[in-house]
Amino acid sequence: MKERTKLIYIILIFAAAYYIPWANETIRRSGLEAFMMLQEYAREHVLTCLIPAFFIAGAIAVFVSQASVLKYFGAQASKILSYSVASISGTVLAVCSCTVLPLFAGIYTRGAGIGPATAFLYSGPAINVLAIVLTARILGWQLGLARAIGAVLFAVITGLLMAFIFRKDDAARTAGQIYLPDEEGKGRTLTQDALFMLTLVLILIFAAFVKPAEGSAGLWPIIFAAKWYITAGLLIILGFMLKGWFVKEERSTWVQSTWGFMKQIFPLLGAGVLVAGFMLGRPGHTALIPDHYIQSLVGGNSLWANLFASVSGALMYFATLTEVPILQGLIGSGMGKGPALSLLLAGPALSLPNMLVIGGIMGVKKTAAFCTIIVLLSTIAGMTYGWIAG
């Protein structure tokens, strides 16, 4: 970190300590909400979601060859293949807008094209099978179906638009890359590498598996009851893989790469969660901006209501599945069907912490374009759905 940047941070912290009127009841409550939200995130998401995701990102950066990334996600890769894989990735990874960040950083820094990479960035948290099923069950099958269709289409459209807008940047990245033949793994086959990555992904999926709604029947409650036994078994399998298939130097490089992603992402993520908590609070807890103000602005199906819902959803942080009960309360308070879909499509995929981190990964300009595309598409989809649903 540059010395000037450190000085700016010190000045900002001093100004906050000096000028924020902590004697005010609302400010004190907002400050408490900020740290309560940070604690909630630390307890519920860091160990089970974010840490496994960091290790996956580190593994992608170290063990997945750049040639492989370029083959499936590169700017010159088959559009049908790359966007198909990227747009359905969320059906496998039930992650939130922050957990997907290290995974995105891993594939983007390895040379993935901006289009497929941002399609993956959107689809990871947006196309969550369990969340879509829960949406259909609690909020109605129409909204659940609209969310599923909209999320898949958005991933592809967003990726294509980003690839078109920044086609010169992608061309420059491609021109500057040195294409080398794949190196042979040290005693490993392609199948072994694939099984290793699959094990890491399964650990993330089962460790982060969310408790189904009360009264749920079928496979979900059974999986949830056995999640820690399955996770423990997978960790044992991973240990044998690391011992038998990887040399000490590779294991060390993997840990160092993982630590590099953590250093890059954790500080911005923590700051973003604090700001989001201070401004908006946790679900059911009022902070600086009262809930009733937000609810009064998203009734009906006007352009303003849908745009406001999209922007609000983009700024708020939604842990996996929490958007459903939040929307249930908002709809009960008079939120329109169109704005509800706008928030569903923009909310899980974006958040203030998410924006801060991806800004550090791919730059402010690309981040602004990505967020603007999501907000505009969500607004249009919300208005269309509100008009159709009546």
pLDDT tens sequence across 107-133: 787 777 888 888 888 887 887 666 777
**Residue 24, number of CB atoms within 10 A of its CB:** 11
Residue 120: inside a domain, yes or no? yes
Residue 17: inside a domain, yes or no? no
- Cα–Cα–Cα angle for 204, 210, 213, nearest 5°? 160
Q: How far apart are CA 373 and CA 357, in angstroms?
A: 18
pLDDT value of position 176: 45
Tell me which residues of the chain have a pLDDT lower than 50. Answer: 176-181, 184-185
> Which two structure tokens, joined as six digits, stand for 123?
């689809």
Q: What is the largest CA-CA distance in the chain?
A: 64
Residue 2: inside a domain, yes or no? no
User: What's the Rg (C-alpha) of the chain?
Assistant: 21
Question: Is the Cβ–Cβ distance between 351 and 390 less than 8 Å?
Answer: no
Residue 15: inside a domain, yes or no? no
pLDDT value of position 240: 94
pLDDT value of position 45: 73
Question: Is the Cβ–Cβ distance between 374 and 154 less than 8 Å?
Answer: yes
pLDDT value of position 234: 93
Question: Is the Cβ–Cβ distance between 45 and 319 less than 8 Å?
Answer: yes
pLDDT value of position 374: 94
151: closest CA among 349, 375, 311? 349
Residue 319: inside a domain, yes or no? yes
pLDDT value of position 179: 44
Q: Where are the alpha helices (DSSP H) in 190-247?
A: 190-207, 219-245
195: closest CA among 262, 145, 246? 246
Instruction: Provide the residue range defining the domain that includes 228.
Output: 33-389
102: closest CA among 69, 162, 56, 48? 56
pLDDT value of position 366: 92
Question: Is the Cβ–Cβ distance between 57 and 105 less than 8 Å?
Answer: yes
Q: How far apart are CA 135 and CA 382, in angstroms?
A: 15
Residue 9: inside a domain, yes or no? no
Q: Which residue has the tokens 């497929």?
A: 116
> Which two structure tokens, joined as six digits, stand for 179?
């294409």
Residue 334: inside a domain, yes or no? yes
Residue 1: inside a domain, yes or no? no
pTM: 0.65
**What is the count of structural domains for the chain?**
1
